Structures are given as structure tokens and as C-alpha cells.
Amino acid sequence: MYCISHIFLPLLINRKYNTFLLIFSLFFDFILISHRFLRILSSLYHFIIMMARLSIFLIMLFAFSCNDGKEPDRVHSAYYWTTTFRMSEKKTRFLNNNDIRRLYVRFFDVVLTEQQGAMPNATIEFIDTIPQGLEIVPTVFVMNECMAVKQDALPGKIVERVIKMCQAHDIHGVRELQIDCDWTARTEQNYFRFLNEVRTLLREKGMSLSVTIRLHQLSMKTPPADRGILMVYNTGDVTDPECHNPILNVKDVRPYLSHARDYELELSAAYPVFSWNVLFRGKHFVGIQHFEGEYPTMSGDTLVNYRPEPEEILQVKRELMEKLPDANREIILYDLSDKNLENYSQNDFHYFYE
């Protein structure tokens, strides 16, 4: 297309450079050029919009293909709470069949003595080596009585002892230490001070601190830690012969879950796979019988076996997920022993970890 000025220019010369017509032709040239420029801008704008939409689509497609429409994989874990670390054929098969990636191993207890104050007790003996590819979280059970007074030296002693035990038994790649304590409102201040000091020492070593949380502690202040393990068991009164199941009962769990949603600490959930033999004399609680003959029996005594039913565990798991969806990103079973593995089938374990 020719510009308007090219058509009128000869005429303008013949008419002795009529100023008005010259301005008029130049104006039309400007209109045509502006129109073309606007068309170019419009095309560029639509191109940018198209590329932006394409980029968003590709990002969503990539994210979906990576996730494959599934939830993130859950971490399968278990507690190891006995005083001897021995990997039997049953335990090894359980680890392999259930893709166990993390094991919380109780290293020792801390108890209060009259002569020496807080001291280690019931230290684990490592008979076998740690299976390859298994992350170990050393766990220390601290008796609540130890927190009745300030424990200025205890944090350093615990951290040092755990580190030395890991070195002595070739336990590598430890990134976390867990403290287990049934603290109360009376011991809260000393316990939290103790945790702060432990956490500071661990951070200097590039490690984090986790703590156990009982259900009743959900309504209390949040302890200073990096994360917590919600112990979803021991929900009833074991001394009450009328108690349906003191290890786990969904009706006992529900009242505590109202506090779970607003809890300020990241939580994972631990579910029970252990059983108890509880001896009653009439309606009087005698004790939990850990082995046959531990308590003398009399005529009229009753030995009651408590074990959470698989459906009870799954129901509690479902209701907890409604309140705390992230709590089941890591599922922990308490605890790993040959005896406890006999309580459930492999199919049961599959659903517990699903």
C-alpha cells in the first residue's frame, strides 16, 4: 500500500506546495502508521498472553506427571523399645515387607536416684548391627520425677552420651534426637528449660529435636522442639476392670482431638500394636503381667488380655486425619518386637501404613 503523501506529492508540487494539503497528507500517513503500530502491539499482546497460558499449562502438566495424581509417599516408621537390639527373622521381614525407613530406638532411660540425682538406666545393648538404609532416631525416656528440679548438667550429658553410643555402634547419619517424657503442669517449666538447652546443643551439631506428646498434653503449652510425635495409645484407665480397652478406644481419643487442629507443633502419629495381660483380683488391679508367673495368682483372679482391634486403629487414624491431615504423613507403630508382630497379620500392617 502506498502512503497518501506519495499520491498527493506531485499534485502538491504542481499547486505550488499547498501547505494545507501537505499537512493533510502527512496526517493521514501518521494515522496509517499508527494503525499499523497498534496492530503490531495487539499481536504482541496476544502472543504474550498465549505464551503465558502455555507456560502455566506446561507447569501444571509437569507437576501432575511428577505426582501422578497421588498423595506424597508416607514415611513408614516404628519404635524399638526393648533393652536388646537384635534383628530376628520376623523383624527383618517386617522391615522389608512394610518399607520401614525410620526406626526410633530407645537408647536409655533417665531416672532419679537419691545419691546421684538423674542417671541413665536400662541402656540398650546392640547385639546386631543396624540394617542398611534405615534411619535411626535415638530416643531417651526421661522420668517426669527428674524434672521436679532444675537439671543444668543433664542436657549436655544426654547429648554427649547419645553421640558416643552412635559412634561406638557405627550408627551413622543421625539427624535427630527424641526426648520422651510424661511431663505435667508441675514440671513444665523445668522440662521446657531442659528442652531448650538440649535443642541448642543439637543445633550446634546440625541435629534437630523431637518430643513425644501424650493426648492429654494437646491442651497444654507447646514444648520447645522442632516436631512432635503424638502417642495415640494408653487412652484408658488400666486399673479399671470396667474399662473396655485401656490401650486404645476411639471414644476415649475423640475428646482430645478437639485440641489437635490448633496445636502449634508439627505432629506425626504413633499407633499401638502391643498387647497387655492385666491381672485383677476381684475388682482390684494387681498389675500388668509381662511374663507368666510374674505375679502369684489366687483363686478368683482374672487375667485380661487387651489388644487394639485393627478396625479400632484404622478408625482412630481416620478421625485423626480429619483434624490433622499432616499427622499421617509419617505413620509410626509402637513397638517392634517378635511378640507384638504376632498380634497382627501382614494385611493388617499394610492397612495401618496405607
Does residue 101 register a pLDDT over 50? Answer: yes
Together in a domain, 52 and 106 = no
What's the burial of 301, exposed, middle or buried (CB within 10 Å: 0-12/13-18/19+)?
middle
On the CB side of 319, how many CA atoms lie within 13 Å of its CA?
Answer: 18
Residue 63 predicted with pLDDT over 70 = no
Sequence letter at residue 341: L
Does 96 share its domain with 242?
yes
Do 30 and 166 fall into the same domain?
A: no
Contact yes or no for 331/271 (Cβ under 8 A): yes
Residues 152 and 295 in one domain: no
Residue 28's pLDDT is what?
57
Span 206-241, pLDDT tens digits: 999 999 999 999 999 999 999 999 999 999 999 999
Residue at which a domain ends, from 26, 41, 67: 67
Say whether both 58 and 131 belong to one domain: no
Instruction: With a cut of 80, say whether residue 19 has pLDDT above it.
Output: no
Q: Judge if 326 and 253 occupy the same domain.
A: yes
pLDDT of residue 238: 97
Which amino acid is residue 150, in one-letter code? K
Could you tell me if 23 and 145 lie in one domain? no
Q: How far apart are CA 91 and CA 80, in angstroms?
A: 10
Q: Which range of residues forms the domain containing residue 336?
A: 76-271+308-353
Contact of 303 with 289, CB cutoff 8 Å: yes
Domain stop point among 67, 95, 117: 67
Question: Is 11 a residue whose pLDDT tops 50?
Answer: no
State residue 57's pLDDT score: 54
* Predicted TM-score (pTM) above 0.85: no
Cα–Cα distance measured from residue 20 to residue 230, given in angstroms and rounded to the nearest whole number: 89
Q: How far apart are CA 143 and CA 113, in angstroms?
A: 11
On whether both 27 and 107 belong to a single domain, the answer is no
pLDDT digits 0-9 by tens, 122-177? 999 999 999 999 999 999 999 999 999 999 999 999 999 999 999 999 999 999 99
Give the pLDDT score at 181: 98
Report whether pLDDT(10) > 60: no
pLDDT at 198: 98
Q: What is the mean pLDDT of residues 282-305?
A: 94
Whether residue 51 is found in the same domain as residue 145: no
The per-residue pLDDT for 43 is: 66
In whole angstroms, give the CA distance from residue 347 to residue 295: 35
Last residue in a domain, options 44, 67, 90: 67
Whole-number mean pLDDT of the chain?
A: 88
Tell me how far apart the alpha carbons of residues 288 and 150 are, in angstroms, rounded to a whole number: 32
- In the structure, what pLDDT confidence band is assigned to residue 67 with cuts at 50, 70 and 90? very low
Domain co-membership, 138 together with 33: no
What pLDDT shows up at residue 166? 98
Rounded Cα gap, residues 222 and 200, in angstroms: 17
232-269 pLDDT, tens digit per residue, is 999 999 999 999 999 999 999 999 998 888 899 999 99
Residues 249, 281 within the same domain: no
Q: Which three cell numbers stand for residue 345?
A: 497379620
Which carries the bigger pLDDT value, residue 252 or residue 69? Answer: 252
- pLDDT given for residue 73 in this prediction: 72
pLDDT reading at 193 higher than 60: yes
Residue 287, helix vs strand vs coil: strand
CATH code of 179's domain: 3.20.20.80
Q: What is the pLDDT of residue 258?
A: 87
pLDDT of residue 349: 98
**Measured CA angle at 52 (ends 47, 57), to 5 deg:** 125
- Give Cβ neighbours of residue 286 (< 8 Å, ≥ 6 apart): 279, 280, 295, 301
In this prediction, residue 2 has a pLDDT band, given cuts at 50, 70 and 90, of very low
Q: What is the pLDDT of residue 69?
A: 46
**Comparing 40 with 133, which gets the higher pLDDT?**
133
Domain count, the chain: 3
Residue 104 pLDDT level (bands cut at 50, 70, 90): very high
- Are 249 and 233 in a shared domain? yes
The answer to whether residue 70 scores a pLDDT higher than 60 is: no
